[in-house]
Structure 1
Amino acid sequence: MTDVYLLNVALADVLFVVGLPLIIYNDQYDWAMGTWACKLLRGIYSVNLYSGMLLLACISADRYIAIVQARRSFRIRSRALVYSRVICIAVWLCAIGLSIPTFVYYEAYSDKTSFDYVNDIDIAMNPESTKTEAVGSHKVCYFKFEGNETAQTMKVLVPSLQVAVGFFLPLLVMGFCYSSIIVTLLRARNFQRHKAVRVVMAVVLVFIACHLPYNVSLLYYTAVMFDTRDCHVEDSIMMALTITETLAYLHCCLNPFLYAFIGVKFRNHFCKILEDLWCMGKRYIYSRRSSRVTSEFYVSKKSTEGSNNEASSFTM
């Protein structure tokens, strides 16, 4: 079951990493790809966020069943492939459902409030220009609502769901499962138990270190969203969100090392694949060289035989 979960986690992380450069490019160049790209890229980001976190919770639950409930889990794990596929489909459907507001309400539109205020002195120095012309337009990809009630509801609901389902729920599942696993490993008489405990602790601590600062910042920003505050306070909050969100992005790149490369079997198979690829590459290069040498030898031999044919009638 864990292999199926890891495959889906890898798929979610790869989709996120592929879409992230496009999001960065559009943010830097006034969202040049339009509304549909805005909805698609932001929606994919949201789906991968939820699915990745929920799948990590599924991995921890699977390890809990395999280690803590080993005797009772034989019947469950005997049909592991069926259960894991059903659970993964349910996780992806849940992630898509939670991302529906992002697909619906995100749009690319001109936001003039993101520019610095043009004061009356600047306009007085150039009377022919208006304030609108001085400010200009800047396309952003963000929520756009028709009414204030919908805006207030969605601006609170979306980040609240992200914090609750995308962080606290997986954190609770991982905390319970991995704490039980640590207790079970400490009771076992196995010389490798301390290494396994260190791996479990690393998985939990990295998850908390990457995602806790961003979710705390997002929760605070949601709580004070409609309060009146100074501009420098708003700038500080947005800067904290940017830095902590970047730290949360890093977890996608750490997942392969935490969940795959630590395992001995995976490392051995991965090294075997690299060795096979290296051998195939060497064989391909050698075959190309040998075929080129053979063809050159064959051409030179034919030319020699041709000259001999012209020189003597006894040449076979």
Structure 2
Amino acid sequence: MASTTSDYDYFTHVDGDLCIFEPSPTEVITQTYVHSIICAFGLIGNVLVIVTYMFYKRAKTMTDVYLYNVAVADLIFVVALPFISYNEQHSWLMGSVACKILRSAYSINLYSGMLLLACISGDRYIAIVQARRSFGTRSHTLIYGRLICSAVWVSAVALTLPTLLYTQRSEEPNMGSEGVTVTCQLSFSRNETAKLMKVVVPSLQMAVGFLLPLVVMVFCYSSIMCTLLRAQNSQKHKAVRVVLAVVVVFIVCHLPYNVTLLTHTLSLFKVRSCVVEKINLSVLDVSRVVAYLHCCLNPILYAFIGVKFRSHFRQIVVDLWCFSKKYIYSARSSPGTSDICTSGLKSSEASNNMSSFSA
């Protein structure tokens, strides 16, 4: 059996001992509740976005195509999250295949989601700042949008390959006690590969999954804000606040995790004490959960804040109510149902003629 080198199982203590990290019961309970909340809100929000685009709102712009794909990327992660939490608490009972797939799900969501958010900011920059120059070049926007989204997904899968190939379910004997510790993380048969991948994987996450989208978003949205502020229009100033919220939420959610990840990566090849390493890993876990929150906030920031999208959301609620009434009550016992459903349909049709800046 080849020897393996894992990221977080053990490391050499300053006194030559080995450290074993096990989450406390309080940490496990807290993580379970927080992950459940993220999963519930992320699932509801992103499913509503997908249903809206599939049945209520036809994609007409590149931003629509990007928003749909962002919702798909976030949905992949929130569906995988409860399985990740369950397996982490039950020694990865689902096996090695699930270990690889579930660990890769976050990586694919990270790369595809962040790159798509950068694409949204770029499309809005072209539409608002370069509006006159781009007017004649946006006739085939849906085709371009789908091609760009396909390229983003291919890039996300390619960047996830190291995680998919080297993530393994492994069993390590407990030091000084019976039993084994089961982990699912990056494992390597050669020290040279371990040293390389322990730097490459987090570096790619920070560079492509955070810094590149951040630079693009800051440039594009700063230019958009300057353009909107020059326009003497109250609606435009509301849009400025939305743009600012998009950038602030992105930074607040992802900056702490990436700074902690950078600090942890730089210290991987140094001798650390158990106490310091436990603190570092605890901060990494907390900041990672904060980053997870972004998948719940994306539908609010990019979809539901728009007037048309809120109208479609209300129509979904009306349709669900009508659908339930259809099978619970007969038409005679609920004479008002038809009127409400009809009025809801008319309001949905009228909303298609409304326009707004959806941030």
1:273 counterpart = 2:334: no
Deviation at 1:288, TM superposition (A): 7.9
Match of 1:283 in 2: 326
Deviation at 1:190, TM superposition (A): 1.2
Match of 1:59 in 2: 120
- Provide the aligned C-alpha RMSD in A: 1.5
C-alpha distance in 1 between matches for 2:322 and 2:191: 64
C-alpha distance in 2 between matches for 1:289 and 1:136: 66
C-alpha distance in 2 between matches for 1:145 and 1:230: 23
1:195 counterpart = 2:219: no
Q: Which runs of 5+ in 2 are unaligned?
A: 1-61, 334-359
Equivalences for residues 161-200 of structure 1 within 5 A: 161-200=204-243
2:116 alignment partner AA:
L
Work out which of the two has the higher radius of gyration on C-alpha atoms and give 1 or 2: 1
Q: In the TM superposition, what whole-angstrom CA distance separates every residue of 1:38-94 from its partner, at most 9, and x where no partner exists?
A: 111111221111000000101111111111011111233211000000000000000
Match of 1:151 in 2: 194
Q: Which runs of 5+ in 1 are unaligned?
A: 119-133, 291-316
C-alpha distance in 1 between matches for 2:286 and 2:253: 11
- Taking structure 2 as the reference length, the TM-score comes to 0.74
1:34 counterpart = 2:70: no
Deviation at 1:32, TM superposition (A): 0.7
2:145 alignment partner AA:
S
1:6 alignment partner AA:
L
1:160 counterpart = 2:203: yes
Bigger relative CO (Cα 8 Å, ≥ 6 apart) = 2
Deviation at 1:22, TM superposition (A): 0.4
Instruction: Pick from 91, 111, 116 the counterpart of residue 50 of structure 1.
Output: 111
Instruction: Pick from 216, 225, 234 the counterpart of residue 268 of structure 2.
Output: 225
Instruction: Pick from 247, 257, 260 the counterpart of residue 204 of structure 1.
Output: 247
C-alpha distance in 2 between matches for 1:135 and 1:80: 62
C-alpha distance in 2 between matches for 1:11 and 1:289: 41
Q: Which SS does the other structure have where 1:73 is aligned?
A: helix
Q: In the TM superposition, what whole-angstrom CA distance separates every residue of 1:246-304 from its partner, at most 9, and x where no partner exists?
A: 000011011111101110110011112211221232233233886xxxxxxxxxxxxxx
C-alpha distance in 2 between matches for 1:248 and 1:170: 15
Aligned length: 273
- Taking structure 1 as the reference length, the TM-score comes to 0.84
C-alpha distance in 2 between matches for 1:136 and 1:191: 66
C-alpha distance in 1 between matches for 2:330 and 2:253: 48
C-alpha distance in 2 between matches for 1:288 and 1:149: 72
- Relative to its length, the structure with more helix (as a share) is 1
C-alpha distance in 1 between matches for 2:331 and 2:198: 61
1:187 alignment partner AA:
R
Match of 2:43 in 1: none
1:284 alignment partner AA:
Y
Instruction: Pick from 240, 256, 259 the counterpart of residue 283 of structure 2.
Output: 240
Match of 2:158 in 1: 97
Q: Which SS does the other structure have where 1:9 is aligned?
A: helix
